[in-house]
Amino acid sequence: MKVFCGIDWASDHHDVALVDHDGALLARARITDDPTGLQQLLDLLGEHGDAAGAPIPVAIETSRGLLVACLRATRRPVYAINPMAVARYRDRHSVARKKSDHLDAMVLANILRTDMATHRPLPHNSELAEAVAVLARAQQDAVWDRTQAGNKLRSHLREYFPGFLIAFQSSREGLCSPVARVILAAASTPERAAKLTRTQLRSLLKTAGRQRGIEAEADRLREAFRLPQMRQLPLVEEAMGRQTAALLRQLDAACTSANDLAKAAVESFEAHPDAEIITSFPGLGSLTGARVLAEIGDDRSRFADAKGLKAFAGAAPVTRASGKSVAVMARRVKNQRLASVGYVWAFAALTASTGARAHYDRRRADGDRHTAAQRNLFNRMLGCLHHCLTKQTPYDEATAFPPSEASQLAVAA
């Protein structure tokens, strides 16, 4: 008898429901979110035929948490069902719009009973791949936090100290650069910045790690800080300087977190067997490669073919057809993290691969905008990546973009 399990997840307890292949309720329980509750769940599954060779599949509304991690450790199929999809399925069982935790658990179990083939189980990635995923995602979050903190500080400086922004507008890192942060910490108001001497500026530049052109940079900053500019009232300016110090501490913490997590993510990624293959692709370094591995994992059975991977990343388009109307649109439901690194990958590949550049130019010549052409290139590179990881072979430019095709693309461009 086939048995299916549904778990309605909550912060401190979980409702469990087991149904058979006919939809009949076999057992129900409410377990706590602790080792006792986990053991109660495993015992309940064991009473209804759970075995090492044929584990009972489980459907739950989240892919994270200790409960999910422990269930995945048992090597059983675990399906993370989107809560919005569960709400749609709920209407199939009741038109009265009633809702309860037990009902949701039964709905999840019945989703597996009726539509298991249309849902993808969580992959069985290696422990190292899971560690890379944690670090790479945390580093990406830290980068987003750094960008947000930098934007807040920039907006605040524009209100009372635009001269500082002008002084560092040519810097590639802007306010996130160590030099900008060290100098702003020492002089958070226009008055203090104007009083900085060449000796003090040279010392601050050295403290920030500057090694070359210190004299010229100190002179440039001294002149920039002494240029006339509009000013706030003295007390208001001092108060805004205090606020700048607070915002700067947030930016410093975000920059430190991003750098530390980037180093840790790269170290873990380079220890993975797939790192050599992934970084053999043009435009993929260790950090971007870690982000790619974090999202696709190393479970080769996760994607049956390259089409599944492309759809997961949002690189494959979506076709909507009804009668004589046919529309091909960009895919919006996708893995946002993998999609974001895909644009960075495609952009970097334009200068690292002649075949990628020719492919991009052809798409642009055919009428695609920059974003669409990049997405199309990302789509093709994903197909190559799936092939290389499946065959365990590094990237080869001549295979990905044959010379005959590359010449045709160049002529068409």
Per-residue pLDDT tens for 154-211? 999 999 999 999 999 888 888 999 999 999 999 999 999 999 999 999 999 999 998 9
Helix (H) or strand (E) holding 156: helix 127-160
Amino acid letter, residue 11: S
Confidence band of 413 (pLDDT split at 50, 70, 90): low
Residue 53's pLDDT is what? 82
- Conformation bin of residue 100: beta by default, left when phi > 0, alpha when psi is -120 to 50: beta
Q: Which two tokens stand for residue 193?
A: 């910045």
- pTM of the prediction? 0.86
User: Residue 304 has what pLDDT?
Assistant: 86
Task: In whole angstroms, give the CA distance from residue 101 to residue 26.
Answer: 17
Percent above pLDDT 90 for the chain: 73
Residues 6+ apart with CB under 8 A from 116: 4, 57, 79
pLDDT greater than 70 at residue 406: no
Q: Are 138 and 165 in contact, with CB atoms under 8 Å apart?
A: no
CA distance 242 to 247: 9
Tens of pLDDT, residue by residue over 197-210, are 999 999 999 999 98
Please report which confidence band the pLDDT of residue 8 belongs to, taking 50, 70 and 90 as the band edges. very high
Rounded CA gap, 292 and 305, in Å? 17
Q: Tell me the fold of 3-122.
A: Nucleotidyltransferase; domain 5 (3.30.420)
Reply yes or no on whether the pLDDT at 411 is more than 60.
no
Rounded CA-CA distance 307/382 in Å is 9
CA distances from 91 to 88, 105, 243, 406 (A): 6, 14, 51, 53
**The token pair that represents 347 in the structure block:** 């952009």
- Which of the four pLDDT bands, split at 50, 70 and 90, describes residue 91? confident
Instruction: Kindly state the average pLDDT of the residues 273-296.
Output: 95
pLDDT tens, 309-339?
999 999 988 888 888 888 888 888 889 999 9
Q: Backbone phi, then psi, for 100, in 5-degree steps? A: -155, 165
Q: Does the pLDDT value for residue 1 go beyond 70?
A: no
* Stretch (H or E) spanning 20: strand 13-20
Which pLDDT belongs to residue 23? Answer: 87
Helix residue spans in 353-402 (DSSP H): 354-365, 370-391, 397-400
- Residues 6 or more apart in contact with residue 344 via CB below 8 angstroms: 283, 288
Q: Which residues of 327-348 are buried (b: 16+ CB within 10 A; e: fewer)?
A: eeeebeebbebbbebbebbbbb
* CA 170 to chain CA centroid, nearest Å: 29
Task: Give the pLDDT confidence score for residue 75 in this predicted structure.
Answer: 87
Enumerate the β-bridge partners of residue 5: 18, 58
Q: DSSP letter string over 71-114?
A: HHHTT--EEE--HHHHHHHHHHH-SS----HHHHHHHHHHHHHH
